[in-house]
Amino acid sequence: MSWTLSQSFLSNSSPVIKTIEMHTGGEPLRVIISGYPKIHGDTILQKRRYAKNNLDHLRKMLMFEPRGHNDMYGAALVDTDLPEADIAVLFMHNGGYSTMCGHAIIALGRLVVDKKYVTATEPETEVNIQCPCGLVKTLVEYKDGKSGYVRFHSVPAFLFASNVEIKVKGYGMMTVDISYGGAFYAFISADVLGLDVRESSTSDLKRAATAVSDAVKKQVKILHPEDDDLSFLYGTILTDGQDNWSADPTANVCVFADAQVDRSPTGSGVTARIALQHSKGFIQIGQKRIFESGVTKSLFSGTAIKQVKCGDFDAVVVEVSGQGHYTGEASFILEEGDIVGEGFLPN
């Protein structure tokens, strides 16, 4: 016996929202393909505000249980306002809408090529993706009709503040660096908090990183030089402290949004960490580093490829590479009267 969801079968239901399910390094990505209402706005940041103010019930329905979970991640394709962009995207998660997401860019690069939104060329196909933080050039490996690894070039990334002293509840005075890679992150070595990013439990890492994020949000004013919509701390990245260049992988764990734990090494986080390492003289232009997720042991690479400016900040463009994978397709509905089905997260 087989059947598919349809409006005739579900006569009193909401429209069917169809998605393609992917992951990059273990971090999920739910890509909305059809059934979503039009997201209005002349610019992508206006679209982001529109989604937040008018469509947040759908974010909760798709990201939260029973269809998702606390660590689900999503992407909605929207109309681009940049002539050079092939697609534009809004990112969503348990706390709202982010400005950049590298793991999503890596997965979307494959999807755009495989769905023939652009004409594929060998050995790489260029896909320009407009994100809320700006245009991201993406290069998708393509051979014998198959897509593979993806690398992207970041928006200008920079060290915002170095050796910032904060008082962290439960831990005392700490020193963090704050760096931007399409989103702002606080960076601190896990051993300062009595933890190990490769060995400590995810719950302990999440608790400590959340405490650091809470402290930074209360005690540090973050400003992006070009747009106030980008001026907020997205999360904290706990590292193994190995910032000097090495051929060996360096591990980190990113806790972002509402205490959401990234399973991947974090694409925008790798971007921000490369910017930090370059600014402090730990790595040079062209030196590739390998970054390991402390959760899944998956790997991204990151390389500062050129120096630029972002406002008054010395910045770099960072190339990040990794591979996304497909996990399935889904059709989601909300039946009339299903209050629980509107989305919930357990305490």
Known catalytic residues?
101
Both tokens of residue 306? Answer: 């050129």
CA angle, residues 343, 344, 346, in degrees to nearest 5: 160
Whether residue 316 contacts residue 35, with contact meaning beta carbons closer than 8 Å, is answered with no
CB-based contacts of 83, cutoff 8 Å, min separation 6 = none
CA angle, residues 98, 102, 106, in degrees to nearest 5: 130
Strand partners, 153: 137, 319
Cα(105)–Cα(127) distance, rounded to whole angstroms?
A: 10
Both tokens of residue 311? Answer: 């406002």
Cα(347)–Cα(176) distance, rounded to whole angstroms?
A: 29
Both tokens of residue 5? Answer: 């969801």
217 half-sphere exposure, CB direction, 13 A CA radius: 15
The Cβ of residue 301 has, within 10 Å, a number of other Cβ atoms equal to 18
Q: Report the candidate in 101, 133, 158, 152 with the shortest Cα–Cα distance to residue 316.
A: 158
Q: Which residues of 186-195 are buried (b: 16+ CB within 10 A; e: fewer)?
A: bbbbbebbeb
Cα(56)–Cα(247) distance, rounded to whole angstroms?
A: 43
Cα(153)–Cα(44) distance, rounded to whole angstroms?
A: 19
CA angle, residues 158, 161, 166, in degrees to nearest 5: 145
DSSP structure string for 109-122:
HHHHHHTTSS---S
Both tokens of residue 288? Answer: 């590739």
